[in-house]
């Protein structure tokens, strides 16, 4: 009596099957037979009623996730590239005003140079929504190093403000595109137990990139700073060739052999991935069966709630004052009578942001997304209220020497809690909340909206301060934080430890 040979027994060292050495009657069924919708292996009752023990790791749990951590670290360097693009204007602005480019640059020019980045990001987002399922996640992430390098080249050798702005638009295009692709890739390769942790890596890399520009900008001129930033995409280009494509992308293309090889890479050293692959295949088959026109797909309850949730967290991410607090770091340090220099103060803020985001990576899968968002938005509201009160007292000619510590402490608490909650978690949620039918387009819409909000916050902040004064601006952010608290309590679901299918059910599927 012949026995059925398992996948692992027939797999060669290169990921292919040793079919030539196995008699026909002893070979496993064809891939199409095993994974077709008619196959009993795809029966929902099979894998929904079997609970595989998760604790049988033989002390190798960290090793089990090692390849996922490594791949996520490499892939999220796209966030580091985005961080260098965001942070470049802070140290480069004074250098440009001092004439390091050899031509005159005004404050209004610097404002437009800073604002061109989110405009470029808005252009990049819609392209990625359509291409991510055609060209693949890995290929696009590699290709995006080209506009990033072109942008930095134009900035380095610019002979006018227009050339700098075009370079910033190209850098923004790459950054906006990475903000769509990287969270999606990370969510697709991660185990449920660590998906939240890996999802926060993107924002961790963004803050690391910003800190990088602060530190390098303290020692180099604008050209040295720009060259240092341009080296990062080159490193990223080389490292990305060591990272596999997402197994989900391979499945959408019908290449189950490569999908299985990719999944085995991410699940090392436990190579038995057949059941998880079947689950993925069945989920995609269900999506294909239920495929509807894109406008109709957006009319479903999970799609509407997911889009509302995604846009909502981005609104509160940008309009609770994060850009203002970071922009006014030097002013707040000076107002507190601190002897710390402006360069050192920005570096300190950058370090706090990186360390706090790292703490978020450690606790997000233990405490959950919702509780971190709630703590974050409440703390930010309190901090902006106190900072606004300090500047109101100062503008009203009160003696504030005895309370000079308030803005400094509020700034530190704001940065720490923002970096643990509303900084990283919105990007992570974007990879979790959308139905498969609209994930690419919906992620692009949310990212476009986010970058539009960034543009508004950076370009018109000065006008807002001139109109309603600085203290009222901070109090306006406090009002937004109050609204954000209600949003988190009543709208945001807890997705900790849930599969993609369970999240869709939670959103009303």
Q: CA 136, 248, 129 angle in degrees (round to 5)? A: 45
Q: Which position has the higher pLDDT, 132 or 449? A: 449
* Closest to 351 (Cα-Cα) out of 198, 451, 454, 218: 218
Contact 458, 118 (CB under 8 A): yes
Q: What is the CA radius of gyration of the chain?
A: 25
Could you check whether the bond before residue 420 is cis, i.e. omega within 30 degrees of 0? Answer: no
Q: What is the distance between the alpha carbons of residues 457 and 447, in angstroms, rounded to a whole number?
A: 15
The model's pLDDT over 411-466, given as tens digits with 9 standing for 90+, comes to 889 989 998 899 888 888 887 888 767 777 888 888 889 889 988 887 788 788 88
Contact 247, 259 (CB under 8 A): yes
Report the range out of 128-132, 170-174, 200-204, 300-304 with the highest average pLDDT: 170-174
The model's pLDDT over 244-257, given as tens digits with 9 standing for 90+, comes to 998 888 888 888 88
Which of 49-53, 188-192, 294-298, 323-327 has the least mean pLDDT? 49-53
Report the range out of 149-158, 279-288, 460-469 with the highest average pLDDT: 149-158
Q: Measuring CA to CA, how many Å separate 102 from each of 99, 152, 160, 222, 245?
A: 5, 18, 9, 12, 45
* Burial label, 30 (beta-carbon count in 10 A; 0-12, 13-18, 19+): exposed
What pairs with residue 17 in β-bridges? 11
């Amino acid at each position: 009596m012949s026995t059925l040979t398992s996948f692992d027994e027939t797999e060669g060292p290169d990921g292919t099957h040793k079919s030539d050495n196995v008699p026909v009657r002893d070979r496993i069924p064809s891939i199409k037979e095993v994974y077709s919708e008619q196959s009993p292996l795809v029966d929902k009752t099979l894998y929904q009623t079997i609970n595989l023990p998760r604790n049988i790791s033989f002390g190798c749990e960290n090793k089990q996730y090692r390849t996922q951590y490594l791949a996520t670290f490499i892939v999220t360097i796209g966030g580091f590239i985005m961080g260098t693009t965001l942070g470049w204007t802070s140290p480069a602005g004074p250098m440009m005003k001092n004439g390091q480019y050899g031509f005159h640059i005004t404050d209004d020019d610097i404002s437009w140079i800073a604002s061109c980045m989110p405009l470029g990001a808005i252009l990049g987002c819609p392209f990625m929504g359509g291409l991510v399922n055609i060209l693949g996640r890995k290929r696009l992430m590699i290709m995006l190093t080209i506009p990033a390098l072109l942008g930095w080249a134009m900035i380095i050798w610019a002979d006018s403000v227009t050339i700098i702005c075009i370079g910033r638009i190209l850098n923004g295009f790459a950054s906006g595109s990475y903000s769509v692709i990287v969270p999606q890739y990370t969510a697709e390769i991660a185990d449920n137990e660590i998906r939240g942790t890996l999802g926060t890596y993107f924002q961790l890399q963004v803050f690391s990139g910003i800190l990088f520009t602060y530190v390098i900008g303290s020692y180099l001129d604008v050209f040295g700073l720009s060259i240092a930033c341009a080296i990062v995409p080159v490193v990223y280009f080389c490292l990305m060739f060591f990272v596999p494509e997402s197994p989900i992308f391979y499945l959408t293309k019908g290449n189950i052999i490569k999908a299985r090889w990719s999944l085995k890479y991410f699940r090392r050293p436990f190579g038995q991935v057949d059941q998880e692959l079947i689950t993925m295949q069945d989920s995609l088959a269900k999506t294909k069966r239920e495929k509807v026109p894109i406008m109709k797909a957006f009319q479903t309850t999970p799609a509407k709630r997911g889009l509302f949730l995604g846009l909502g967290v981005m609104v509160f991410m940008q309009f609770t004052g994060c850009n203002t607090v970071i922009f006014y770091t030097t002013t707040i340090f000076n107002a507190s009578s601190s002897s710390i220099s402006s360069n050192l103060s920005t570096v300190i803020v950058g370090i706090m942001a990186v360390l706090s985001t790292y703490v978020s990576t450690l606790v997000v899968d233990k405490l959950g997304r919702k509780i971190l968002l709630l703590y974050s938005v409440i703390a930010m509201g309190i901090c902006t209220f106190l900072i606004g009160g300090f500047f109101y007292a100062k503008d009203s000619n009160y003696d504030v020497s005895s309370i000079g510590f308030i803005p400094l402490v509020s700034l530190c608490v704001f940065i720490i809690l923002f970096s643990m909650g509303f900084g990283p978690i919105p990007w992570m949620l974007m990879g979790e909340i959308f139905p498969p039918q609209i994930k690419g387009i919906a992620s692009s819409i949310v990212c476009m909206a986010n970058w539009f909000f960034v543009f508004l916050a950076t370009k018109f902040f000065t006008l807002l301060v001139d109109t309603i004064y600085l203290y009222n601006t901070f109090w306006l952010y406090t009002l937004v934080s109050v609204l954000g608290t209600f949003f988190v309590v009543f709208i945001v679901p807890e997705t900790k430890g849930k599969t993609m299918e369970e999240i869709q059910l939670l959103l009303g599927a």
